[in-house]
Structure 1
Amino acid sequence: MKKNIPNFITLINLFLGCCALASIMYGQFVQAFFFSLASGVADFLDGTMARLLKVKSDFGTQLDSLADMVSFGVVPGAILYILLVKGFSGREVLPIELTLAAAPAFLVTLFAAIRLAIFNIDECQSENFIGMPTPSVTMFCVGLLLIYHFDSFGMGSLVTQPYFLYPVIALLSWLMVARFPMFGMKFKSLSWEGNEIRFIFAASALLMMLLLREASFSLIVLAYILFSTIDNYVLKH
């Protein structure tokens, strides 16, 4: 029985990802945020439970990737697609032209699939990551969705503009498959030594959430990239 507990949590992740996708389709962007947040928690818990119960399996690994493909592959692509459609609204374009203009958003989905396939066969990513993990990509995209919805700092229009989103799509796609080390948030212990970058990042993320609220989530991901760069090229040298 206990061997199925992590798999059940993985299915919850998949279910919540589907709910997030449906919420995006119907314009319920705040609801989509909470579903995506919950799916991220479930994604963290399934692996944690598998390790605690010592029931890791090949089946669980494959199921986890399939769930992640929806929650952290299709969902961010759908968000970027919707934002691009918003950016092109009001212009005199045919429906097929609008679809083709917004379709590059799903490059993120394609590269997420590549990223997840690499992760499954790369034994070097048990504690830290090589390339940006797909949940971080989703968090960044959900953050853009909230900025649009609340028009945070007057940037609601900016995050729908093609000249902003096309480079974002290219950057996110590249970061997922780049051989760029990024630290994981798995604490082996609560001691400061060996966890310095994790504690500093966690404190910075909390501060940004308190000060910037809905506008913080995309910035937290940018901070994650910055802290990973510092960790790789400053602290480790």
Structure 2
Amino acid sequence: MKQIPNILTLSNLFCGALAIIFILHAPEYIAEFNGTEYTVTNPEPIYWASALVVLAGIIDFFDGFVARLLKVSSAMGRELDSLADVVTFGVVPGMIMFRLLRSAYLQTPDVFDVSYFNLAPALLVPCFAAYRLAVFNLDTRQSEHFIGVPTPAVGFLVASFPLIMLYNPYNLAHLLENVWVLYAIIAVLCYLMVSSHPMISLKFKNFSVKDNWPRFLLVLLTVVSIPVLKYAAVPFVFIVYVGLSLVVPPKASHG
């Protein structure tokens, strides 16, 4: 019984590794527009990677829940969880951003002058995620809230990008085709992960509206935004989450 949470954690890692395979094997083909040839990436395998990140996030929630339920929480399980998270919510988002940057540069006039140095900033995402997870394991203040944005939130946000590119809700896809927008997203996400800002956790100690109204508001806006905004609901909820945390920071806990 005590290995059940660890098996769930390894399932999270399995999903992350499989997502990487989908990203690496996204087929490319040559298309000609107005007499000019372009290399185009088929988005389908990448949005399968997005689905795997979401599945891994669900598993990531339940491994801790099951460990507490079975009373088998351990230091080893905590370390294993972080090792899995750095792949699924660090490396996978970094690779998605790498592919998005590459696709964005393919649409620029100086496409043939682009090198891997132009795309390398995407790899800062896994680096900052790893640093954030190491700090999380050592920081005893994060039992009831987070310090900095948690890596699963970053993973969900970036995983929504291929789906936004594919379905283009509210004509947002063009933003993700701009290299400077992508660079800005990378910079903001890296900063938020290692920032010292207290962030809301969805751990409810009680169901008092007075104590939990930011959490209830976040849940309500999430539920309402999904049918209205479709896949754009993910960045909307992320922005609301960060904004609420900054405006109404959770109280510090030393438990």
- What is the TM-score of this pair, normalised by structure 2? 0.86
1:33 is matched with 50
Contact 2:102–2:119 (8 Å) recurs in 1: yes
Instruction: State the Cα RMSD in Å.
Output: 1.8
The amino acid of 2:171's aligned partner reads G
Is 1:69–2:69 an aligned residue pair? no
Q: For residue 105 of structure 1, report the CA deviation from its aligned partner.
A: 0.6
Residues 60-85 of structure 1, C-alpha deviations (whole Å, 9 max, x = no match): 11111110011000011011111100
Q: How far apart in 2 are the matches of 1:112 and 1:163? A: 21
Equivalent position to 2:95, from 57, 71, 78: 78
Contact 1:88–1:98 (8 Å) recurs in 2: no
Structure 1 runs not aligned, ≥5 long:
none
Q: How far apart in 2 are the matches of 1:46 and 1:60? A: 9
Q: How far apart in 1 are the matches of 2:213 and 2:111? A: 51
2:172 is matched with 155
Equivalent position to 2:151, from 125, 134, 144: 134
TM superposition outliers: structure 1 runs of 4+ over 3 Å: 90-95
The amino acid of 2:23's aligned partner reads I
Q: For residue 94 of structure 1, report the CA deviation from its aligned partner.
A: 4.2
Contact 1:143–1:216 (8 Å) recurs in 2: no
Q: How far apart in 2 are the matches of 1:157 and 1:23? A: 23
Contact 2:148–2:194 (8 Å) recurs in 1: yes
1:8 is matched with 7
Q: How far apart in 2 are the matches of 1:205 and 1:33? A: 18
Stretch deviating more after TM superposition (84-93 or 168-177): 84-93
Q: How far apart in 2 are the matches of 1:174 and 1:12? A: 29
Q: How far apart in 1 are the matches of 2:193 and 2:110? A: 34
Instruction: Report the count of equivalent residues.
Output: 233
1:118 is matched with 135
The amino acid of 2:205's aligned partner reads K
Stretch deviating more after TM superposition (7-16 or 52-61): 52-61
Q: How far apart in 2 are the matches of 1:66 and 1:6? A: 14
Per residue, is there more strand in 1 or in 2? 2
The amino acid of 2:19's aligned partner reads A
1:229 is matched with 246
Q: How far apart in 2 are the matches of 1:88 and 1:144? A: 16
The amino acid of 1:112's aligned partner reads A
Task: Give aligned-pair identity as a percent.
Answer: 39
Q: How far apart in 1 are the matches of 2:218 and 2:237? A: 9
Q: How far apart in 1 are the matches of 2:172 and 2:152? A: 23
Equivalent position to 1:187, from 204, 207, 214: 204
The amino acid of 1:126's aligned partner reads S
The amino acid of 1:14's aligned partner reads L
Contact 2:90–2:126 (8 Å) recurs in 1: yes
Contact 1:72–1:135 (8 Å) recurs in 2: yes
Q: How far apart in 1 are the matches of 2:218 and 2:138? A: 28
Contact 2:148–2:197 (8 Å) recurs in 1: yes
Tell me which structure has the larger Cα radius of gyration: 2
Structure 2 runs not aligned, ≥5 long:
27-42
Q: How far apart in 1 are the matches of 2:162 and 2:244? A: 24
Contact 1:29–1:149 (8 Å) recurs in 2: no
Per residue, is there more helix in 1 or in 2? 1
1:19 is matched with 18
Q: How far apart in 2 are the matches of 1:117 and 1:189? A: 29
Contact 2:153–2:238 (8 Å) recurs in 1: yes
Q: For residue 160 of structure 1, report the CA deviation from its aligned partner.
A: 2.4
- Aligned to 2:176, the other structure's residue is in SS state helix
2:39 is matched with none
Contact 1:13–1:40 (8 Å) recurs in 2: yes
Contact 1:181–1:232 (8 Å) recurs in 2: yes
- What is the TM-score of this pair, normalised by structure 1? 0.92
